[in-house]
Protein backbone atom coordinates (compact mmCIF):
# COMPACT_ATOMS: atom_id res chain seq x y z
CA UNK A 1 0.00 0.00 0.00
CA UNK A 2 0.95 3.62 -0.53
CA UNK A 3 1.37 6.18 2.21
CA UNK A 4 -1.47 8.63 2.51
CA UNK A 5 -0.20 12.17 1.91
CA UNK A 6 -0.30 14.39 4.97
CA UNK A 7 -2.38 17.52 4.73
CA UNK A 8 -0.78 20.71 3.46
CA UNK A 9 -2.01 24.22 2.69
CA UNK A 10 -2.78 23.08 -0.84
CA UNK A 11 -5.31 20.69 0.62
CA UNK A 12 -7.25 23.44 2.37
CA UNK A 13 -10.68 21.91 1.75
CA UNK A 14 -9.62 18.78 3.63
CA UNK A 15 -7.37 20.37 6.25
CA UNK A 16 -9.30 18.90 9.17
CA UNK A 17 -10.06 15.46 7.69
CA UNK A 18 -8.05 13.14 5.55
CA UNK A 19 -8.32 13.92 1.83
CA UNK A 20 -10.07 11.41 -0.41
CA UNK A 21 -8.03 8.92 -2.41
CA UNK A 22 -9.11 9.26 -6.01
CA UNK A 23 -8.60 6.99 -9.03
CA UNK A 24 -8.83 8.73 -12.40
CA UNK A 25 -9.36 6.47 -15.43
CA UNK A 26 -8.45 7.79 -18.89
CA UNK A 27 -6.13 10.20 -17.12
CA UNK A 28 -4.01 10.92 -20.22
CA UNK A 29 -6.97 12.24 -22.17
CA UNK A 30 -7.70 15.92 -22.76
CA UNK A 31 -9.63 16.31 -19.52
CA UNK A 32 -7.79 13.74 -17.42
CA UNK A 33 -4.46 15.52 -17.49
CA UNK A 34 -6.01 18.79 -16.30
CA UNK A 35 -8.14 17.09 -13.64
CA UNK A 36 -5.24 15.07 -12.19
CA UNK A 37 -3.19 18.26 -11.90
CA UNK A 38 -5.97 20.04 -10.02
CA UNK A 39 -6.84 17.11 -7.76
CA UNK A 40 -3.17 16.56 -6.87
CA UNK A 41 -2.93 20.21 -5.83
CA UNK A 42 -6.03 19.84 -3.68
CA UNK A 43 -5.69 16.38 -2.14
CA UNK A 44 -1.96 15.68 -2.35
CA UNK A 45 0.05 13.94 -5.08
CA UNK A 46 -0.04 10.48 -3.48
CA UNK A 47 -3.82 10.58 -3.06
CA UNK A 48 -4.60 10.89 -6.77
CA UNK A 49 -3.91 7.72 -8.73
CA UNK A 50 -3.68 8.45 -12.44
CA UNK A 51 -4.37 5.54 -14.78
CA UNK A 52 -4.57 4.79 -18.48
CA UNK A 53 -3.72 2.08 -20.98
CA UNK A 54 -0.75 4.02 -22.38
CA UNK A 55 2.38 5.57 -20.90
CA UNK A 56 2.77 9.27 -20.14
CA UNK A 57 5.10 10.78 -22.76
CA UNK A 58 6.47 14.20 -23.55
CA UNK A 59 3.28 14.87 -25.55
CA UNK A 60 1.11 13.70 -22.68
CA UNK A 61 2.68 15.52 -19.78
CA UNK A 62 1.20 14.60 -16.45
CA UNK A 63 1.93 16.93 -13.56
CA UNK A 64 3.85 15.45 -10.65
CA UNK A 65 5.26 12.55 -12.71
CA UNK A 66 6.53 11.12 -9.43
CA UNK A 67 2.91 10.54 -8.38
CA UNK A 68 1.16 7.18 -8.68
CA UNK A 69 0.40 6.11 -12.25
CA UNK A 70 -0.95 2.64 -13.04
CA UNK A 71 -2.07 0.62 -16.04
CA UNK A 72 -5.84 0.25 -15.88
CA UNK A 73 -7.84 -1.28 -18.71
CA UNK A 74 -11.44 -0.47 -17.72
CA UNK A 75 -12.57 -3.71 -19.34
CA UNK A 76 -10.48 -5.70 -16.85
CA UNK A 77 -12.67 -5.93 -13.73
CA UNK A 78 -10.25 -7.89 -11.54
CA UNK A 79 -7.43 -5.47 -12.34
CA UNK A 80 -9.61 -2.45 -11.53
CA UNK A 81 -10.70 -4.05 -8.28
CA UNK A 82 -7.12 -4.75 -7.33
CA UNK A 83 -6.14 -1.11 -7.92
CA UNK A 84 -9.12 0.07 -5.85
CA UNK A 85 -8.15 -2.21 -2.96
CA UNK A 86 -4.36 -1.71 -3.17
CA UNK A 87 -4.67 2.08 -3.18
CA UNK A 88 -7.65 2.20 -0.80
CA UNK A 89 -9.64 4.28 -3.25
CA UNK A 90 -12.58 6.42 -2.03
CA UNK A 91 -13.65 8.16 -5.25
CA UNK A 92 -13.38 7.25 -8.94
CA UNK A 93 -13.45 9.77 -11.74
CA UNK A 94 -14.21 7.69 -14.80
CA UNK A 95 -12.87 9.61 -17.82
CA UNK A 96 -12.11 6.64 -20.04
CA UNK A 97 -14.40 6.81 -23.11
CA UNK A 98 -14.49 7.06 -26.90
CA UNK A 99 -15.78 10.43 -28.15
CA UNK A 100 -18.52 10.99 -30.72
CA UNK A 101 -16.74 10.92 -34.09
CA UNK A 102 -14.39 8.07 -33.14
CA UNK A 103 -17.30 6.08 -31.71
CA UNK A 104 -19.21 6.31 -35.01
CA UNK A 105 -16.19 4.77 -36.74
CA UNK A 106 -15.68 2.04 -34.10
CA UNK A 107 -19.14 1.19 -32.74
CA UNK A 108 -18.15 -2.15 -31.23
CA UNK A 109 -15.22 -0.65 -29.36
CA UNK A 110 -17.36 2.28 -28.22
CA UNK A 111 -19.99 -0.08 -26.82
CA UNK A 112 -17.36 -2.02 -25.00
CA UNK A 113 -15.31 0.87 -23.56
CA UNK A 114 -18.20 3.27 -22.88
CA UNK A 115 -20.74 0.75 -21.63
CA UNK A 116 -18.86 -2.26 -20.24
CA UNK A 117 -16.07 -0.05 -18.87
CA UNK A 118 -18.59 2.13 -17.05
CA UNK A 119 -20.54 -0.88 -15.77
CA UNK A 120 -17.34 -2.33 -14.30
CA UNK A 121 -16.50 0.89 -12.49
CA UNK A 122 -20.09 1.40 -11.29
CA UNK A 123 -20.33 -2.13 -9.94
CA UNK A 124 -17.00 -1.67 -8.15
CA UNK A 125 -18.36 1.58 -6.69
CA UNK A 126 -21.26 -0.44 -5.26
CA UNK A 127 -19.06 -3.21 -3.87
CA UNK A 128 -16.39 -0.91 -2.41
CA UNK A 129 -18.69 2.02 -1.50
CA UNK A 130 -16.98 4.58 -3.74
CA UNK A 131 -18.18 7.95 -4.91
CA UNK A 132 -18.18 7.81 -8.70
CA UNK A 133 -18.13 10.68 -11.18
CA UNK A 134 -18.61 9.89 -14.87
CA UNK A 135 -19.22 12.71 -17.34
CA UNK A 136 -22.14 12.69 -19.71
CA UNK A 137 -22.36 15.08 -22.65
CA UNK A 138 -24.54 17.24 -24.86
CA UNK A 139 -24.25 14.18 -27.13
CA UNK A 140 -26.74 12.40 -24.86
CA UNK A 141 -29.45 14.57 -26.42
CA UNK A 142 -30.80 13.91 -29.89
CA UNK A 143 -32.63 15.40 -32.86
CA UNK A 144 -36.00 15.46 -31.02
CA UNK A 145 -34.62 17.34 -28.01
CA UNK A 146 -35.52 21.07 -27.84
CA UNK A 147 -32.41 22.83 -29.17
CA UNK A 148 -32.41 26.13 -27.32
CA UNK A 149 -31.87 26.37 -23.59
CA UNK A 150 -32.20 22.57 -23.33
CA UNK A 151 -33.31 21.64 -19.79
CA UNK A 152 -32.01 18.78 -17.62
CA UNK A 153 -35.18 16.77 -17.99
CA UNK A 154 -36.22 16.44 -21.63
CA UNK A 155 -36.37 14.03 -24.58
CA UNK A 156 -33.22 11.88 -24.67
CA UNK A 157 -33.21 9.96 -27.94
CA UNK A 158 -29.65 10.29 -29.30
CA UNK A 159 -28.92 8.85 -32.75
CA UNK A 160 -25.18 8.33 -32.28
CA UNK A 161 -23.41 5.40 -30.63
CA UNK A 162 -21.67 7.86 -28.31
CA UNK A 163 -24.97 9.40 -27.20
CA UNK A 164 -26.60 6.00 -26.69
CA UNK A 165 -23.71 4.85 -24.48
CA UNK A 166 -23.88 8.04 -22.41
CA UNK A 167 -27.65 7.82 -21.85
CA UNK A 168 -27.01 4.26 -20.70
CA UNK A 169 -24.42 5.56 -18.19
CA UNK A 170 -26.79 8.26 -16.91
CA UNK A 171 -29.69 5.85 -16.40
CA UNK A 172 -27.60 3.09 -14.86
CA UNK A 173 -25.85 5.53 -12.53
CA UNK A 174 -29.20 6.90 -11.37
CA UNK A 175 -30.49 3.36 -10.90
CA UNK A 176 -27.48 2.33 -8.78
CA UNK A 177 -27.93 5.51 -6.75
CA UNK A 178 -31.60 4.83 -6.01
CA UNK A 179 -31.40 1.09 -5.62
CA UNK A 180 -28.03 0.63 -3.87
CA UNK A 181 -27.22 4.13 -2.56
CA UNK A 182 -24.13 4.46 -4.81
CA UNK A 183 -22.95 8.09 -4.75
CA UNK A 184 -23.04 8.52 -8.54
CA UNK A 185 -22.59 12.06 -9.93
CA UNK A 186 -22.52 13.30 -13.50
CA UNK A 187 -22.63 16.44 -15.62
CA UNK A 188 -23.39 16.81 -19.28
CA UNK A 189 -20.25 18.50 -20.62
CA UNK A 190 -20.45 20.76 -23.66
CA UNK A 191 -17.49 20.98 -26.07
CA UNK A 192 -14.39 21.64 -23.95
CA UNK A 193 -11.59 23.91 -25.23
CA UNK A 194 -7.97 23.59 -24.15
CA UNK A 195 -4.72 24.47 -25.89
CA UNK A 196 -2.09 22.37 -24.13
CA UNK A 197 -3.68 18.92 -24.40
CA UNK A 198 -5.27 17.83 -27.65
CA UNK A 199 -8.69 16.22 -27.75
CA UNK A 200 -9.34 12.94 -29.52
CA UNK A 201 -12.13 12.48 -32.00
CA UNK A 202 -14.91 14.78 -30.86
CA UNK A 203 -17.39 16.75 -32.98
CA UNK A 204 -16.82 19.98 -31.04
CA UNK A 205 -13.05 19.75 -31.59
CA UNK A 206 -13.07 22.03 -34.65
CA UNK A 207 -13.08 24.79 -32.03
CA UNK A 208 -9.63 23.64 -30.90
CA UNK A 209 -8.17 22.70 -34.31
CA UNK A 210 -9.06 26.12 -35.71
CA UNK A 211 -6.59 27.89 -33.40
CA UNK A 212 -3.74 25.49 -34.18
CA UNK A 213 -4.33 25.80 -37.94
CA UNK A 214 -4.94 29.55 -37.89
CA UNK A 215 -1.66 30.16 -36.14
CA UNK A 216 0.26 27.81 -38.43
CA UNK A 217 -1.31 28.48 -41.84
CA UNK A 218 -3.67 31.45 -41.33
CA UNK A 219 -6.47 29.28 -42.71
CA UNK A 220 -8.76 26.47 -41.60
CA UNK A 221 -10.91 23.89 -43.39
CA UNK A 222 -13.85 23.57 -41.02
CA UNK A 223 -15.79 20.27 -40.94
CA UNK A 224 -18.96 22.00 -39.68
CA UNK A 225 -21.15 24.59 -41.43
CA UNK A 226 -20.68 28.25 -40.44
CA UNK A 227 -23.89 28.57 -38.39
CA UNK A 228 -23.62 25.36 -36.35
CA UNK A 229 -24.16 26.62 -32.80
CA UNK A 230 -23.00 24.31 -30.00
CA UNK A 231 -22.52 24.79 -26.25
CA UNK A 232 -18.81 25.29 -25.43
CA UNK A 233 -16.68 25.74 -22.32
CA UNK A 234 -13.07 26.51 -21.42
CA UNK A 235 -11.23 23.71 -19.64
CA UNK A 236 -10.57 25.74 -16.47
CA UNK A 237 -14.32 26.13 -15.99
CA UNK A 238 -14.86 22.46 -16.80
CA UNK A 239 -12.37 21.27 -14.19
CA UNK A 240 -13.49 23.78 -11.55
CA UNK A 241 -17.13 22.80 -12.04
CA UNK A 242 -16.28 19.11 -11.91
CA UNK A 243 -14.38 19.54 -8.64
CA UNK A 244 -17.28 21.58 -7.23
CA UNK A 245 -19.73 18.79 -7.99
CA UNK A 246 -17.29 16.12 -6.76
CA UNK A 247 -16.95 17.85 -3.40
CA UNK A 248 -20.58 18.96 -2.97
CA UNK A 249 -22.37 17.40 0.00
CA UNK A 250 -24.61 14.61 -1.22
CA UNK A 251 -27.55 16.24 0.55
CA UNK A 252 -27.27 19.34 -1.68
CA UNK A 253 -27.87 17.30 -4.84
CA UNK A 254 -31.50 17.16 -5.94
CA UNK A 255 -30.56 15.02 -8.95
CA UNK A 256 -27.57 12.97 -10.05
CA UNK A 257 -27.02 14.28 -13.61
CA UNK A 258 -26.76 18.01 -14.34
CA UNK A 259 -26.44 20.15 -17.45
CA UNK A 260 -23.34 22.34 -17.20
CA UNK A 261 -23.03 25.12 -19.78
CA UNK A 262 -20.90 28.22 -20.25
CA UNK A 263 -21.51 29.87 -23.65
CA UNK A 264 -22.42 28.91 -27.21
CA UNK A 265 -20.84 29.82 -30.52
CA UNK A 266 -20.66 28.65 -34.14
CA UNK A 267 -17.68 28.33 -36.54
CA UNK A 268 -18.48 31.69 -38.18
CA UNK A 269 -18.31 33.39 -34.77
CA UNK A 270 -14.78 32.06 -34.27
CA UNK A 271 -13.67 33.09 -37.77
CA UNK A 272 -14.99 36.61 -37.16
CA UNK A 273 -13.38 36.87 -33.73
CA UNK A 274 -10.00 35.67 -35.08
CA UNK A 275 -10.16 38.19 -37.96
CA UNK A 276 -11.22 41.07 -35.73
CA UNK A 277 -8.79 40.43 -32.91
CA UNK A 278 -5.74 38.72 -34.38
CA UNK A 279 -5.51 38.11 -38.11
CA UNK A 280 -7.65 40.22 -40.50
CA UNK A 281 -6.93 38.01 -43.54
CA UNK A 282 -7.62 34.66 -41.83
CA UNK A 283 -9.19 32.31 -44.41
CA UNK A 284 -11.96 29.92 -43.36
CA UNK A 285 -13.29 27.22 -45.73
CA UNK A 286 -16.35 25.16 -44.88
CA UNK A 287 -16.17 21.50 -45.89
CA UNK A 288 -18.81 19.76 -43.77
CA UNK A 289 -18.37 16.00 -43.33
CA UNK A 290 -20.17 13.26 -41.39
CA UNK A 291 -19.67 15.21 -38.16
CA UNK A 292 -22.22 17.80 -39.38
CA UNK A 293 -25.07 15.33 -38.83
CA UNK A 294 -23.80 14.63 -35.31
CA UNK A 295 -23.63 18.35 -34.49
CA UNK A 296 -27.08 18.93 -36.00
CA UNK A 297 -28.57 16.45 -33.53
CA UNK A 298 -27.16 18.26 -30.47
CA UNK A 299 -28.48 21.29 -28.52
CA UNK A 300 -27.34 24.83 -29.34
CA UNK A 301 -27.51 26.00 -25.73
CA UNK A 302 -28.12 24.51 -22.28
CA UNK A 303 -30.25 25.45 -19.29
CA UNK A 304 -27.93 24.68 -16.35
CA UNK A 305 -29.90 26.50 -13.66
CA UNK A 306 -30.15 23.42 -11.43
CA UNK A 307 -26.35 23.08 -11.30
CA UNK A 308 -26.12 26.76 -10.39
CA UNK A 309 -28.69 26.42 -7.60
CA UNK A 310 -27.68 23.04 -6.17
CA UNK A 311 -23.88 23.20 -6.13
CA UNK A 312 -22.94 26.75 -7.08
CA UNK A 313 -21.90 26.28 -10.72
CA UNK A 314 -20.81 29.57 -12.33
CA UNK A 315 -18.55 29.65 -15.41
CA UNK A 316 -15.96 32.42 -15.81
CA UNK A 317 -15.13 32.19 -19.53
CA UNK A 318 -17.50 33.54 -22.19
CA UNK A 319 -16.79 33.18 -25.94
CA UNK A 320 -14.55 36.27 -26.15
CA UNK A 321 -12.48 35.05 -23.19
CA UNK A 322 -12.17 31.59 -24.74
CA UNK A 323 -10.97 33.01 -28.08
CA UNK A 324 -8.36 35.13 -26.34
CA UNK A 325 -7.00 32.41 -24.08
CA UNK A 326 -6.93 29.82 -26.90
CA UNK A 327 -5.16 32.12 -29.38
CA UNK A 328 -2.59 33.29 -26.85
CA UNK A 329 -2.04 29.79 -25.48
CA UNK A 330 -1.42 28.20 -28.87
CA UNK A 331 0.73 31.17 -29.97
CA UNK A 332 2.90 30.76 -26.88
CA UNK A 333 3.36 27.06 -27.63
CA UNK A 334 4.54 27.85 -31.16
CA UNK A 335 6.88 30.66 -30.07
* Residues within the interface to ligand AKB (CB under 6 A): 99-100, 137-139, 162, 189, 191, 202-204
CB of 133 to ligand AKB, least distance (A): 15
Nearer to ligand AKB, 25 or 47 (CB): 25
192: phi then psi, degrees, rounded to nearest 5: -110, 130
Nearer to ligand AKB, 204 or 259 (CB): 204
Coil, strand or helix at 1: coil
**Cα 105-193-156 angle, rounded to 5 deg:** 55
- Looking at the DSSP bridge assignments, the partners of residue 69 are 50
Q: Is 286 part of the annotated catalytic residue set? A: no
- Looking at the DSSP bridge assignments, the partners of residue 230 are 265
Determine which one of 43, 95, 162, 229 is catalytic: 162
86: phi then psi, degrees, rounded to nearest 5: -55, -40
How far apart CA 327 and CA 271 sit, in angstroms, is 12
Distances (CA, A) of 64 to 29, 38, 238: 16, 11, 21
How far apart CA 97 and CA 114 sit, in angstroms, is 5
Nearer to ligand AKB, 220 or 298 (CB): 298
How far apart CA 177 and CA 111 sit, in angstroms, is 22
Nearer to ligand AKB, 202 or 261 (CB): 202
Q: Are 24 and 95 in contact (CB under 8 A)?
A: yes
CB of 101 to ligand AKB, least distance (A): 6
CB of 99 to ligand AKB, least distance (A): 4
CB of 184 to ligand AKB, least distance (A): 19
CB of 105 to ligand AKB, least distance (A): 12
Alpha helices in the chain (DSSP H): 30-43, 77-86, 100-105, 107-110, 117-128, 161-180, 206-217, 235-247, 267-277, 291-296, 305-311, 319-334
How far apart CA 151 and CA 303 sit, in angstroms, is 5
Residue at shortest CB range from ligand AKB: 202
Catalytic positions: 162
Amino acid sequence: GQQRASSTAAMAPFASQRPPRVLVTGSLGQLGIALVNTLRDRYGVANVIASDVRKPTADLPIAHPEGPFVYADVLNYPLLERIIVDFQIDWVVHYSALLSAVAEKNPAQALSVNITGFQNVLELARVHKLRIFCPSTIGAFGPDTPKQNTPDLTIMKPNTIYGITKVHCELLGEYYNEKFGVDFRSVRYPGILSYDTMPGGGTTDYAIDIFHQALRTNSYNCFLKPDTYLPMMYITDCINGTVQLLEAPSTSLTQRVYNMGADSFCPADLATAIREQFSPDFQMNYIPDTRQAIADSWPASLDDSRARTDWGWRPEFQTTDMVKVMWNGVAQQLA
